[in-house]
């Protein structure tokens, strides 16, 4: 019985759920100094001066540091997570994108409320916070760009005067003659759809501990990060210190969701302070800091139109969307392009033109967060599909089924390019089958009848339908080391860290599959640049695809080495040997065997003798993904809307999900359900609201609502396994998929519940305030509430 | 998340607590359950120089019947109130205690703290208004009684002197034919109310003889609606009458906030009042029948 496919319990959970995890705040740092950060109270202001006299006079204060104190070390540096477009994409699409820069502390100007302006270092955090309030910053307020619309107005103030405009990213992609298709089609539907500004909310906020070695001057940094290796590289450049002298560790990380895939100013600042002060320095972010200054996401407005024929056939798609990028799109085109190229989902859309503009404003910077542009794509497309079906007088499910790609149409080329510049070719997945399975499991027809019956008694039931595709497992390639220890244990080392995904279990299951060593004897080491020097981070649903296949390759090579070494010892051809129950055994001759522990001791450097397997039972494997591999799926839900309160109750939620071969179905369940919670959050609750002066009004969890257990349904999750042909394991990523349809699903369901009265609903989150407003407007206009159409 | 330094005091008697308040001046704050005060301190929205903890003073956490009233000690926790007989005899107290924040907050939060804080989003103030409760305060000059209607002065301002302690609340025992209810619209468990209403009705011979309706989180203080009450008195409270009465609401002028516009809140207030009155009437009828 292999290990892959078993829903085994996560080996890391006993430690994590009994409070023995080690998060950044738990890292021992004796004698550490603590940092409180003075953050800009203005959204846009010139910094005329910083007076730290009073702060420095307070007890326990060691230093107050501003940009001027840091000089050239303050930057600006090229932003470590900004990359130019891949050359093939640059050649074909030529997306316009402006390089981003990073300052450790705001220099002449503060560009958003919450931007770090000064750092107060004290002997404890309370004293540091007291002193931070005593730092007097002399601001001269500048005109505030509060919205993307303002940013793009002809006479807008400029965030970066040297740019000449406020556009960070702009591109157009397309396929076929879309304008002709719109002319030829029977019907065109148009909507302006708005996805609210959101933030992922890991339980653990950001945090950094930096400890310089007193003797060598080397530096150790712990950061709550998805990208320890990129942080190491960024520190190498900003500290001007060789990377091998910098150890960066992402220990247990209490959730990331993309928010920790950045390199942040604070992550460069705290190590700089530690080197300067020659003391351990620590900063643990508060929730208020996190909501105001970590990267935000979504905040897209789509002007989308669909051309359809009377029989329900989609002829073309045109979309112009604008993203409020805050002070910058610090991952360049990642989110914008991912939204654009996922827009057709897995529907047959022969022609399209999609134009994207990212505007800069005086808000926190923007970047990818769970779904990374895909939830916005599903939101825009599925919402316009609902409108098209209504306009055609077709059943919404029938309309979708008519246009959904079938498995016999795979691979399907959408005629546009993926972000890596390769043709966007869906590599299998039964999207239409996912949809019909979801409809069947939901009992769609029964609910349609229920809905109609409910409407006669004033009950507002709504059906939400939304599908998704997800390109997963992005390059660059990853590698893994694996070694059989003389104790009989197997140690796997990889670069990317875990933020709770269960890698300690799934990567061990993969190694176990090929080595026939039980999972309990396999240890996975990750997220430490001294344990494994390279890695592209735990982002973009890539670890199981890219790292998983690297572990598989390494395990296969180690197995060959074990069999070769055992062959030497047993004088049997390796091809006639197999690993079983902790021993290498001759096939058909169980008496001829050698225990793995004995074998390892005999060939391990320092205790054994080098044989034909080389210096020890170690192997290294790698996997270069050709491009992404696409997961698919479909969500369907029933909601009930209370017309008086506008409150939405999810009565039923069905997920059909295909991420290829399952390594651990229980972990996939967890990923899908957790993702779904974030999607429902985007759909019903989560919204960062700024006022016209660029002040964040939703700066605590009292105002920024995230879904809780009591807000969520117990979903029905159906797994399908269409194996990927783009990697040896046949896997597809799953980290983000569950989030993708949520916002579309919630808006569609509520809009359906309200019937004609819901026609004005075009924004997520679809809150009680918005719902009751729509109902009031409908009543005032004599439009019935809860009638079809 | 890091409050400024303060001095913690843990008096053993009420007199000692009052003495401390008088001596320490306006920088001192009373600490009851801390459910509101501690988060505000962590956000540095409140920066007391001294905290006077009421937690060790005996006899502030009892619930007893005296003289036609139930006297609820100020330090009674929401969770304990929810489990007490008074939460059944006055059903709106049970309604409220099961929708105040979440169980972990209800395990620390107290009724006295909830009222003294003066937050219009808190649930008990409107209930006390609807029950016509009396609040008992003690200061250096002794004890005095404050009618619930006189207690909330403005946003976060109540009729307690800086050296006074709210020691308990006197709630009239239910009379024959009385039914009560508290209904809240909230976006999720623990969120502030979109709108909430407390209703007390008394039925006699199928007609409403007394009605009191009060609202949470729609104005700087809890608000009673004599207009709704007048529309109920003397009427048989069928569905249509209740719906019509709820529409009579004129006493609130809600402000727009992040959750809803003023217009939406007004509509929600009427809807939530209708539900609370309906439930109170239902309970009154059940009580009469049993």
Question: CB distance from A644 to chain B under 8 Å?
Answer: yes
Q: What does each C-alpha distance from A195 to A241, A265, A763, B209 come to in angstroms? A: 42, 28, 6, 51
Residue of B nearest to A711 (CA): B188
Asked if A673 reaches chain B (Cβ–Cβ under 8 Å), the answer is: no
Chain B environment of A768 (Cβ under 8 Å): 185, 187, 194, 259-260, 264, 268
**CB-CB under 8 Å, B190 with A689:** no
Partner residue facing B2 (CB), from A125, A711, A773: A125
Q: Is B2 in CB contact (< 8 Å) with chain A?
A: yes
Tell me if chain B has a CB within 8 Å of the CB of A646. yes
Helix segments in A457-497, DSSP class H: none
Q: Helix, strand, or coil here: A366?
A: strand
Asked if A705's CB is within 8 angstroms of B260's CB, the reply is no
Residue A769 has its nearest CB partner, among B43, B190, B259, at B259
The strands making up A589-595's β-sheet, listed across from edge to edge, are A577-580, A583-586, A589-595
d(CA B45, CA B34): 14
Q: Give contacts of A 716-775 with B, CB under 8 A.
A: 767-769, 772-773
Taking alpha carbons only, the member of A498, A264, A302, A471 closest to residue A371 is A471
- Answer yes or no: do B187 and A685 touch at CB < 8 A: yes
Could B5 and A130 be called an inter-chain contact, meaning their C-beta atoms sit closer than 8 Å?
yes
Q: Report how far residue B166's alpha carbon sits from residue A649's, in angstroms, rounded to the nearest whole number.
A: 39
Contact (CB, 8 A) for B223 and B215: yes
Rg (CA), chain B: 19
Picking from A297, A307, A399, the residue whose alpha carbon sits closest to that of residue A358 is: A297
- Residue B267 is nearest to which of A705, A710, A772, comparing CB atoms? A772
Q: Is B103 on the interface with A (CB under 8 A)?
A: no
Under an 8 A CB cutoff, do A710 and B260 touch? no
SS3 at position A528: strand
Nearest neighbour of A126 by CB, restricted to B2, B268, B274: B2
Instruction: Verify whether the Cβ–Cβ distance B4 to A130 is below 8 Å.
Output: yes
Residue B210 Cα, gap to closest chain A Cα (Å): 26
Structure tokens at A216: 């060598």
Q: Are A221 and A209 in contact (CB under 8 A)?
A: yes
* C-alpha radius of gyration, chain A, whole number: 28
* Any B CB within 8 A of A556 CB: no
**Backbone phi, psi, residue B23, to 5°:** -75, -40
DSSP, residue by residue, A194-261: EEEEE----SS--EEEEEE-TTT--EEEEE--S-HHHHHHHHHHHHT--GGGEEEE--S-S--TTTTS
Q: Which residues of A are less than 8 Å from B274 in CB distance?
A: 644
- Across the A:B interface, residue pairs with CB atoms under 8 Å apart total 81
Residue A467 near residue A633 (C-beta atoms within 8 A): yes
pLDDT at B290 (0 to 100): 35
- Selecting from B3, B5, B260 the residue whose C-beta is nearest the C-beta of A768 gives B260
Strand partners, B71: B64, B170
pLDDT along chain A (789 residues), means of 10: 91 95 96 98 98 98 98 96 94 95 97 98 97 98 98 96 97 98 98 97 97 95 98 97 97 96 97 97 98 97 98 98 96 96 97 98 96 97 98 97 96 94 91 97 97 94 96 93 95 97 97 96 98 95 96 97 95 96 93 95 90 90 94 97 97 96 96 96 98 97 95 95 95 95 98 95 97 96 82
Mutate: best of B188, B247, B276, partner A, most A CBs <10 A: B188
Say which of B260, B263, B268 has its CB closest to residue A644.
B268
What sign does the CA torsion over A575, A581, A583, A586 have? negative
Nearest to B5 among A126, A700, A703 (CB): A126
Query: Which residues have a Cβ under 8 Å from the Cβ of A153 and sit 6 or more positions away?
Result: none
**CB spacing of B187 vs A286 below 8 angstroms:** no
Q: How close, in Å, is residue A102 to chain B by CA atoms?
A: 27
Judged by a CB distance cut-off of 8 A, whether residue B272 touches chain A is yes
Pairing relationship of beta strands A219-223 and A33-39 according to DSSP bridges: unpaired
A434, A656 contact by CB (below 8 A): yes
Give pLDDT tens digits along chain B (290 positions).
899 999 999 999 999 999 999 999 999 999 999 999 999 999 999 999 999 999 999 999 999 998 889 999 999 999 999 999 999 999 999 999 999 999 999 999 999 999 999 999 999 999 999 999 999 999 999 999 999 999 999 999 999 999 999 999 999 999 999 999 999 999 999 999 999 999 999 999 999 999 999 999 999 999 999 999 999 999 999 999 999 999 999 999 998 888 999 999 999 999 999 999 999 999 999 985 33
Of B1, B43, B258, the CB nearest to A703: B258
b/e burial code for range B168-205 (CB count within 10 A of at least 16 → b): bbbbeebeebbbbbbbbbbbeebbbbbbbbbbbbbbee
Which of A38, A124, A282, A646 to mutate to probe the B interface, most B CBs <10 Å?
A: A646
List the single best residue of B258, B275, B277 to mutate versus A (max A Cβ within 10 A). B258
Burial (CB < 10 A; 0-12, 13-18, 19+), residue B272, is buried
| CA B187/CA A755 separation, integer angstroms | 22
Dist CA B256 CA B269 (whole Å): 13
A288 touches chain B (CB under 8 A): yes
Report chain B residues whose CB lies below 8 A from the CB of A130: 4-5
Phi then psi dihedrals of residue A667, to 5 deg: -70, -35
Of the candidates A489, A482, A505, the one whose C-alpha atom is nearest the C-alpha of residue A582 is A489
Contacts with A129 from chain B: Cβ below 8 Å:
2, 4, 44
In this complex, do B260 and A769 lie within 8 Å of one another by their Cβ atoms? yes
| Residue-by-residue DSSP string for chain B | --PPP-EEE--SSHHHHHHHHHHHGGGEEEESS-TTHHHHHHTTS---SEEEE-TT-TTSS-EEEETTEEEEETT-BHHHHHHSTHHHHSHHHHHHHTTSS-HHHHTT-BHHHHHHT--TTSSHHHHHHHHT-EEEEEETTEEEEEEHHHHEEETTEES--TT-EEEEEEEEPPPTTEEEEEEEEESSTTSPEEEEEEEEEEEETTEEEEEEEEEESSSSS-EE-HHHHHHHTTS---HHHHHHHHHT--S--PPP-SS--HHHHHHHHHHHHHHHHHHHHHHHHHHHH-
The β-bridge partners of A141 are: A45
In chain A, residues with a C-beta closer than 8 Å to the C-beta of B267 are 644, 772, 776
Taking residue A239's Cβ as centre, other Cβ atoms within 10 Å add up to 17
CB contact under 8 A, B271 and A645: yes
CB contact under 8 A, A768 and B261: no
Chain B residue closest to A702 (CA)? B191
CA A319/CA A342 separation, integer angstroms: 12
Of B2, B261, B272, the CB nearest to A773: B261
B45 touches chain A (CB under 8 A): no
Q: What is the ipTM of this complex?
A: 0.95
A476: Cα separation from own chain's centroid: 16
Q: What would the 3-class secondary structure string for A565-600 be?
A: HHHHHHCCCHHHEEEECCEEEECCEEEEEEEHHHHH
**CA distance to partner chain A, nearest, from residue B23 (Å):** 26
| CB neighbourhood size of A63 (10 A) | 19
Note the pTM of the prediction, 2 decimals: 0.95
Burial A493-506 (b: 16+ CB within 10 A, else e): bbbbbbbbbbbbbb
């Amino acid at each position: 019985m292999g290990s892959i496919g078993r829903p085994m319990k996560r080996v890391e959970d006993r430690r994590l759920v009994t409070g023995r995890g080690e998060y950044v705040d738990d890292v021992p740092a004796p004698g550490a100094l603590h940092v409180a950060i003075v953050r800009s109270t203005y959204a846009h202001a010139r910094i005329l001066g910083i007076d730290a006299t009073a702060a420095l006079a307070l007890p326990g204060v060691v230093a107050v540091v501003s940009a001027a104190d840091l000089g050239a070390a303050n930057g600006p540096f090229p932003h470590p997570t900004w990359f130019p477009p891949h050359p093939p994409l640059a050649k074909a699409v030529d997306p316009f994108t402006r390089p981003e820069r990073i300052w450790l502390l705001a220099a002449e100007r503060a560009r958003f409320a919450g931007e770090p302006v000064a750092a107060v270092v004290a002997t404890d955090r309370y004293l540091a916070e007291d002193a931070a309030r005593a730092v007097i910053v002399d601001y001269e307020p500048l005109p505030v760009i509060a919205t993307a619309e303002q940013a793009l107005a002809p006479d807008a103030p400029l965030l970066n005067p040297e740019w000449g405009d406020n556009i960070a990213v702009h591109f157009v992609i397309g396929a076929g003659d879309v304008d002709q298709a719109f002319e030829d089609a029977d019907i065109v539907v148009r909507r302006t759809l708005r996805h609210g500004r959101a933030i992922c909310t890991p339980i653990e906020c950001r945090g950094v501990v930096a400890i310089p070695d007193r003797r060598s001057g080397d530096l150790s940094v712990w950061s709550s990060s998805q990208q320890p290796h990129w942080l190491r590289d960024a520190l190498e450049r900003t500290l001007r210190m060789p990377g091998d002298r910098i150890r960066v560790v992402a220990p247990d990380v209490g959730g990331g969701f993309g928010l920790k895939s950045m390199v942040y100013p604070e992550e460069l600042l705290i190590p700089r302070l530690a080197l300067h002060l020659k003391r351990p320095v620590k900063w643990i972010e508060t929730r208020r800091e996190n909501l105001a200054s970590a990267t935000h996401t979504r905040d897209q407005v789509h002007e989308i139109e669909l051309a359809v024929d009377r029989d329900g056939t989609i002829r073309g798609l045109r979309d112009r969307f604008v993203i409020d990028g805050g002070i910058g799109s610090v991952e360049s085109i990642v989110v914008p392009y991912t939204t654009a190229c996922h827009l057709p989902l897995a529907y047959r859309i022969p022609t399209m033109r999609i134009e994207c503009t990212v505007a800069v404003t005086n808000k926190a910077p923007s970047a990818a967060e769970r779904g990374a542009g895909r939830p916005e794509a599903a939101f825009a497309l599925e919402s316009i599909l609902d409108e098209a079906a209504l306009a055609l007088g077709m059943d919404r499910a029938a309309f979708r089924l008519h246009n959904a790609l079938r498995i016999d149409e795979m691979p399907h080329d959408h005629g546009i390019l993926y972000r890596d510049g390769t043709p966007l070719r869906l590599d299998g997945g039964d999207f239409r089958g996912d949809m019909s399975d979801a409809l069947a499991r939901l009992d769609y027809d029964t609910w349609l009848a229920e809905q109609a019956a409910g409407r006669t008694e004033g009950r507002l039931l709504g059906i939400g339908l939304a599908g998704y595709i997800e390109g997963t497992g992005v390059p660059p390639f990853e590698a893994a080391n694996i070694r059989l220890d003389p104790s009989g244990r197997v140690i796997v080392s990889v670069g990317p860290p875990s933020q709770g995904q269960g890698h300690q279990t799934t990567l061990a299951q993969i190694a176990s599959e090929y080595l026939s060593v039980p999972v309990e004897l396999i240890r996975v080491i990750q997220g430490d640049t001294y344990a494994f020097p390279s890695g592209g981070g735990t982002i973009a649903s890539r670890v199981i695809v890219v790292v998983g296949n690297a572990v598989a390759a390494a395990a296969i090579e180690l197995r060959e080495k074990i069999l070769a070494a055992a062959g030497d010892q047993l004088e049997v051809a390796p091809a006639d040997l197999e690993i079983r129950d902790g021993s290498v055994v001759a096939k058909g001759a169980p008496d001829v065997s050698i225990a793995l522990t004995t074998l390892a001791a005999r060939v391990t450097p320092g205790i054994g003798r080098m044989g034909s397997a080389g210096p020890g039972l170690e192997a290294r494997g790698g996997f270069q993904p050709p491009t992404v591999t696409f997961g698919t799926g479909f969500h369907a839900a029933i909601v009930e809307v209370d017309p008086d309160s506008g409150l939405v109750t999810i009565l039923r939620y069905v997920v059909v999900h295909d991420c290829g071969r399952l390594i651990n179905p229980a972990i996939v369940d967890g990923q899908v359900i957790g993702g779904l919670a974030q999607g429902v959050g985007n759909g019903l609750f989560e919204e960062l609201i700024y006022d016209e002066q660029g002040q964040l009004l939703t700066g605590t969890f009292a105002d920024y609502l995230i879904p809780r257990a009591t807000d969520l349904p117990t979903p029905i999750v159906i797994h399908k396994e269409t194996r990927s042909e783009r990697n040896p394991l046949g896997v597809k990523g799953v980290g983000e998929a569950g989030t993708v349809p949520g916002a579309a699903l919630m808006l569609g369901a509520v809009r359906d519940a309200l019937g004609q009265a819901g026609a004005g609903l075009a924004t997520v989150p679809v809150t009680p305030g918005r719902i009751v407003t729509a109902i009031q407007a409908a009543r005032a206009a004599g439009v019935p509430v809860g009638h079809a159409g | 998340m890091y409050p400024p330094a303060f001095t913690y005091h843990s008096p053993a008697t009420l007199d000692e607590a009052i003495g401390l308040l008088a001596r320490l001046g306006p920088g001192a704050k009373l600490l009851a359950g801390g459910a509101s005060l501690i988060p505000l301190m962590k956000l540095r929205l409140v920066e007391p120089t001294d905290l006077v903890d009421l937690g060790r003073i005996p006899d502030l956490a009892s619930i007893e019947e005296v003289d036609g009233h139930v006297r609820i000690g100020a330090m009674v926790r929401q969770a304990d109130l929810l489990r007490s007989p008074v939460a059944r005899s006055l059903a709106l107290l049970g309604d409220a205690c099961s929708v105040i924040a979440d169980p972990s907050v209800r395990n620390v939060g107290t009724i006295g703290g909830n009222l003294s804080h003066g937050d219009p989003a808190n649930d008990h103030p409107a209930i006390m208004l609807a029950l016509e409760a009396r609040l008992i305060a003690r200061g250096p000059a002794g004890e005095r009684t404050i009618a619930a209607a006189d207690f909330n002065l403005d946003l976060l301002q109540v009729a307690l002197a800086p050296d006074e302690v709210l020691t308990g609340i006197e709630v009239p025992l239910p009379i024959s034919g009385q039914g009560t209810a508290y209904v809240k619209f909230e976006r999720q468990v623990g969120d502030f109310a979109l709108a909430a209403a407390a209703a007390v009705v008394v039925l006699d011979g199928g007609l409403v003889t007394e009605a009191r309706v009060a609202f949470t989180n729609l104005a700087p203080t809890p608000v009673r609606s004599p207009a709704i009450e007048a529309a109920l008195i003397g009427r048989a409270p069928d569905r249509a009458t209740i719906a019509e009465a709820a529409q009579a609401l004129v006493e609130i002028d809600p402000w727009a906030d992040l959750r809803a516009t003023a217009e939406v809140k007004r509509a929600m207030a009427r809807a939530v009042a209708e539900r609370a009155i309906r439930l109170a009437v239902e309970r009154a009828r059940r009580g009469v029948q049993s």
